[in-house]
Amino acid sequence: MSQRVQLKDDYLESRLIRRRLVLSAVFVLILIVTVLIRLYVLQINEYEHFTTLSESNRVRIKALPPTRGLIFDRNGVVMADNLPSYRLEIVHEQVDDIDLTLQRLSRYIEFSEQDLKRFKQASSRRRPFESIPLKLNLDDKEVARLAVNLHELDGVEINARLTRNYPQGEHAVHALGYVSRIDVKDLNEVDEVDYAGTSHIGKLGLEKYYESELHGSVGLQQVEVNARGRTLRVLSETPPVPGNNLYLTIDSNLQKAAEEAFADYTGSVVAIDPRNGEILALVSMPIFDPNLFVNGISYANYNALRDSPTRPLFNRALSGQYPPGSTTKPFYGLAGLETSTISAGKKVFCRGFYRLPNEERKYRDWKKEGHGHMDMDGAITQSCDIYFYDLAYNLGIDRMSEFMYQFGFGEKTKIDSTGERPGIMPSRDWKRKAQGMIWFPGETLITGIGQGAMLVTPLQLANSTAALSQKGARYKPHLVRAIESSQTDIIREMTPEIVGNYEMKREQNWQHIHDAMVNVVHGLRGTAQGIRRGLKYKVAGKTGTAQVFGIAQEEEYDEETVAEKLRDHALFISYAPAEDPHIAVAVIVENGGHGSSVAAPIARKVMDVFFQGAS
Amino acid sequence: MSQELDSEQVSYSRRILEALKIDPVLFSLLIILSTIGAVLLYSAGGSDTALMTRQAIRLSVAFVLLVVVANIPLRLLKKISIVAYLVGILLLLAVMFFGEIGKGAQRWLDLGFLRFQPSEILKLAVPLVVAAYLSNRILPVGWKDLIVSVVLVMIPVLLIARQPDLGTAILVGSAGFFVLFLAGVRWRIMLVIGVMLSAMAPILWKVALHDYQRARILTLLDPESDPLGSGYHIIQSKIAIGSGGVYGKGWLNGTQSQLDFIPERSTDFIFSVFGEEFGFLGSVLLIGLYLVIIYRGLYIAASSDDNFGRLLAGALSLTFFVYLFVNTGMVTGMLPVVGVPLPLISYGGTSMVTLMMGFGLIMSIRAAKRFWTR
């Protein structure tokens, strides 16, 4: 300590710091002089130049919005394009009194509260010399009335701009999504510079997911304007880069056929090519016209869509979660064989109900009198519940959920669209987290027939069926097959992506399940044998009927007396041709009753159109 | 007779200021500068008193804080410096995990009754802690002390740059490094560090900078390449300043500023308004005023009679200069656009309060001197 005091020389140190302080003062002076020289250059040497820019001829930069990329189906049919339409736009800087101008305008055309609200929102975010749309899609009469009176409306412009259009109307709306007027929330999420001049943005579905591909980049024009802000001449121009075009995996014919097959039912169909995950049809019924949303839907129209009991805005294919019912049986059957819990030939006696050891409660079969002795083939073809209660009891919930995860149950498929939900594959862990309770053995049984807490989306069900048809190889489902660059002629093809690759322990196990599923359609006692007539190809399938509400013990379910809203959902999963599957289809018909009578025929219609087109 | 009275009055007010530990020279310069700021804000705010009034309220608060800080004894400041530093770091970490995101960056901490940027604390805490540390060591700085100090500076700098807030990171970093510079880091060592930094620059360019920060630097080299984005700021700011000429267009008459061509014209780009309305002469006077303030700070540093005071007052004055240089360099298109305000003039409360507290520290250093001659 004392040594340090000796070593620390106050006089030398203070001299050192003072020297450095003087040195910094010199540095500061030099840098300040640099700034002053810079100011001298700007304000005295280049004064003329900048004065010209500032006063006499103002140089403005105008944003040129890019043309949005087109969307085609897999055969080149146009699904989304752009049409020129007239818009009423206002440049704030040229308007003296905006309220007065709006009041005058209201004499010539009508605009809604909503139009006005959007206009004001946009005004606060754009520069005063940018034109801000007030009303889109003017008709000829409106254009004529405005054009005649434009002289007294300074700052008001009628511009022809390209606007999104869906030539197929309501068809494939849930696959495509739609664009709508950009709002403040959207502007916070995008690069504001790149969207200067852009009036629409993808709000849902593909249009949203591929926004960055479809949008393109903004162009700009340096223009000289007079004191009133009117453009005198264009000095230079960087043209906008149009967005890229999307080629879908969707076949619009198949899509339309699937939509028509539904008639008045609500529900969903998803058709996938199991060999690569390409979505061939993605249907959610009912459908609605996306063109309504492009130019700002009216409150009346919107309320009607939103409040309709059939919920047309709800994308059932991706967001609807349903109990899968008996369509899970082939998967559980395979789980039983693969874990050697049961052999295909082992018979279980079905007397119409099942009891857990030491429990009073009866778990019933859909067939009151029972199916008798059932092996794996019979249990799947005739959809015997007792067989699968017993199997589930022997498997246990842990092995069941472990196996089902490998086929994609309980997680999002990560499809290239928005709004997908993950469904639920129940497990002990899930129940502890979701409900804070332990797992009960009875729940294992009802999970074994796809009831209880288990939920799937139609997309998930189709994709799992596709994976089953491929002996466990599961692809990521996708809606876009290729992206065509607007600049070069380069087409980027999407490569199929394997996301799950379950390997069969014994090929024979899969064969048993597959044969049983073929028997569901082609066997004499198969639950879907009703669609067999006239089939030119072989189909493997499984019906399902999912309870919407529980039936108490000993009570009977009577279709006639149950309100339609509470009727069972009808389900059907299938793939074809059975020997070399090219298509996998999952159908869910809400409150449709039986899978065999309602859902299976829809799947058949889809497949018929598919194979007609292929041949 | 009357002359005698005058001088008596002067000495009377001086005695009050001395009792409040306030440096009359620095204090009056600060008052002049902030008055200019308020008058300019009236113009930049579109001849509206709203901005000006709010700024005046903040200024009063800031001046009160200046007096409060000036009255904290220097020895106590030295002791609490490490506490302030640690609290600042903890709050920065808190921002990282619980902070609010505004304009794409996570800088704000919401305490319910008050929202503030913890990075502001570090603007004072970093020079305080480094000066406190080095004032106990033997100068010029040896390797070990150098490494300790660099670590002390770089921890908060990296945390702030991550938010991302490049402007504040630069200010905090330079405050720390000025202490080191004044403490006499050998030229050889500075040369080595300089070479190392320039060798690392390409890596930092890729790793440390965000896309938008890279874009801003590139835009500086060629503003025309991005005339709708950050290039727009630079082009419009240059037009405004350049068209001001020798005498300027006069207060409230800047066409560029008044017509809303200049973005952020009341905050970071307020110098463009000044340059347009008061011209080259006005700018020279304004910058001259800044220079006198900086030199007064350096003079107080040189006259202080212990190392802590010298290092701290010197570093704070030089940091004040960095504000001025980065801001004027940015609006005249010499430096990339980083968010650094024009000190004591730009609209905004946080930086104003920190700056005034910094001047409070300088005044406390001056007050600690036992024999003060003029």
Answer whether A277's CB lies under 8 Å from A478's CB: yes
Residues A177-209 have pLDDT tens digits of 999 888 878 877 887 778 887 888 999 999 999
Question: Quick one: pLDDT at residue B374?
Answer: 42
What backbone phi and psi angles, to 5 degrees, belong to A605?
-60, -45
Q: Give me the catalytic one of A326, A427, A574, A596.
A: A326
ipTM entry: 0.89
Q: Which residue has the tokens 């002289």?
A: A151
Q: Is residue A326 among the annotated active site residues? A: yes
Q: Which residues of chain B have a CB within 8 Å of the CB of A43?
A: 241-242, 244-246, 275, 279-280, 283
Mean per-residue pLDDT, A302-326: 90
Answer whether B312's CB lies under 8 Å from B365's CB: yes
**CB-based contact, B162 to chain A, within 8 Å:** no
The DSSP element (H or E) to which A493 belongs, if any, is strand A491-493
Answer whether A540's CB lies under 8 Å from A518's CB: yes
Residue A331 to residues A175, A392, A469: CA-CA distances in angstroms?
A: 28, 12, 11
The answer to whether residue B209 scores a pLDDT higher than 80 is: no
State whether A29 and B291 contact (CB < 8 Å): yes
Q: How far apart are CA A424 and CA A430, in angstroms?
A: 9
What is the secondary structure of A64-90 as a DSSP string?
EPPPPPPEE-TTS-EEEEEEEEEEEEE
Q: Which residues contact A25 (CB under 8 A, 6 or more apart)?
A: B295, B298
Answer whether A448's CB lies under 8 Å from A324's CB: no
CA-nearest residue of chain A to B307?
A14
The C-alpha R_g of chain B, in whole angstroms, comes to: 21
Question: In Å, how far is B351's CA from the nearest CA of chain A?
Answer: 21
State whether B307 and A51 contact (CB < 8 Å): no
The answer to whether residue A3 scores a pLDDT higher than 50 is: no
Q: Which long-range contacts (C-beta less than 8 Å, at least 24 apart) are formed by B158-161?
A: B159/B89, B159/B92, B159/B93, B159/B96, B160/B92, B160/B119, B160/B122, B161/B208
Residue A62 to residues A131, A245, A281, B174: CA-CA distances in angstroms?
A: 9, 25, 42, 40
Residues A469-516 have pLDDT tens digits of 999 999 999 999 999 988 887 888 888 889 988 988 989 999 999 999
Q: How far apart are CA A481 and CA A602, in angstroms?
A: 26
Q: Which residue has the tokens 């790793």?
A: B207
Answer whether A448's CB lies under 8 Å from A392's CB: yes
Q: Residue A608: is it exposed, middle or buried by C-beta count within 10 angstroms (0-12/13-18/19+)? A: middle
Give the confidence band of A57 by pLDDT, cuts at 50, 70, 90.
very low
Answer whether B347's CB lies under 8 Å from B334's CB: no
State whether B138 and A44 contact (CB < 8 Å): no
Q: How far apart are CA A268 and CA A258, in angstroms?
A: 9
Q: Which residues of chain B have a CB within 8 Å of the CB of A40?
A: 280
Question: Quick one: pLDDT at residue A4?
Answer: 45
Return the bridge partners of A160, or none: A86
**CB-based contact, B138 to chain A, within 8 Å:** yes
The DSSP element (H or E) to which B23 belongs, if any, is none
The tokens for A563 are 């309100």
Mutate to test the interface with B, among A6, A20, A124 (most CBs of B within 10 A): A20
State whether B325 and A47 contact (CB < 8 Å): no
The DSSP element (H or E) to which A585 belongs, if any, is strand A583-589
Question: Quick one: pLDDT at residue B167?
Answer: 82
Residues B68-113 have pLDDT tens digits of 999 999 889 899 999 999 999 998 888 888 766 554 555 666 655 4
Question: Quick one: pLDDT at residue B224?
Answer: 58
Q: How far apart are CA B10 and CA A107, in angstroms?
A: 70
Question: In Å, how far is B272's CA from the nearest CA of chain A?
Answer: 11
Report the candidate in A426, A465, A501, A497 with the shortest Cα–Cα distance to residue A270. Answer: A465
pTM of the entire predicted model: 0.62
The DSSP element (H or E) to which A478 belongs, if any, is none
**CB-based contact, B246 to chain A, within 8 Å:** yes
Q: How far apart are CA B350 and CA A110, in angstroms?
A: 47
Question: Quick one: pLDDT at residue A59?
Answer: 66
Q: How far, in whole angstroms, is CA B300 from its chain's centroid?
A: 18
Domain boundaries, chain B: 23-368
Return the bridge partners of A322, or none: A456
Mean per-residue pLDDT, A140-153: 83
Residue B185 to residues B146, B180, B182, B320: CA-CA distances in angstroms?
A: 8, 6, 7, 21
The tokens for A381 are 């073809």
What backbone phi and psi angles, to 5 degrees, belong to A373?
-75, 125
Residues A423-474 have pLDDT tens digits of 999 999 999 988 888 888 888 988 999 988 899 999 999 999 999 999 999 9
The answer to whether residue B253 scores a pLDDT higher than 90 is: no
Q: How far apart are CA B247 and CA A420, in angstroms?
A: 64
Q: Which residues of chain B have a CB within 8 Å of the CB of A187?
A: none
% of chain B at pLDDT higher than 70:
82
Q: Which residues contact B13 (CB under 8 A, 6 or more apart)?
A: none
Q: How far apart are CA A472 and CA A469, in angstroms?
A: 7
Question: Quick one: pLDDT at residue B164?
Answer: 74
State whether B138 and A8 contact (CB < 8 Å): yes
Mean per-residue pLDDT, A256-264: 90
State whether B244 and A17 contact (CB < 8 Å): no
Question: In Å, how far is A38's CA from the nearest CA of chain B?
Answer: 7
Question: In Å, how far is A16's CA from the nearest CA of chain B?
Answer: 7
Q: How far, in whole angstroms, is CA A598 from its chain's centroid?
A: 27
Q: How far apart are CA A212 and CA A191, in angstroms?
A: 11
Cis peptide before A290 (omega within 30 of 0): no
Residues A334-361 have pLDDT tens digits of 999 999 899 888 888 888 888 888 777 8
Question: In Å, how far is B6's CA from the nearest CA of chain A?
Answer: 35
Mean per-residue pLDDT, A117-121: 82
Q: Which residue has the tokens 């999912």?
A: A546
The tokens for A84 are 């020129």
% of chain A at pLDDT higher than 90:
42
Cis peptide before A357 (omega within 30 of 0): no
Q: How far apart are CA B368 and CA B306, in angstroms?
A: 9
What is the secondary structure of B244-272 as a DSSP string?
TTTT-S-TT--HHHHTT-STTTTTTTHHH
Query: Shortest CB distance from B228 goes to which of A4, A51, A193?
Result: A193
Residues A545-603 have pLDDT tens digits of 887 755 444 445 555 555 555 678 899 999 989 999 999 999 999 888 776 788 899 99
Half-sphere exposure of A408 (CA within 13 A, CB side): 29
Question: Quick one: pLDDT at residue A281?
Answer: 94
Answer whether B341's CB lies under 8 Å from B171's CB: no
Question: Quick one: pLDDT at residue A562?
Answer: 53
Query: Shortest CB distance from B310 goes to which of A17, A128, A218?
Result: A17
The answer to whether residue A8 scores a pLDDT higher than 80 is: no
Provide the pairing of β-strand A363-364 with A353-354. Answer: antiparallel
SS3 at position A482: strand
State whether B241 and A47 contact (CB < 8 Å): no
Q: Which residues of chain A have a CB within 8 Å of the CB of B305?
A: 14
Q: Which residues of chain A have a CB within 8 Å of the CB of B134?
A: none
**CB-based contact, B344 to chain A, within 8 Å:** no
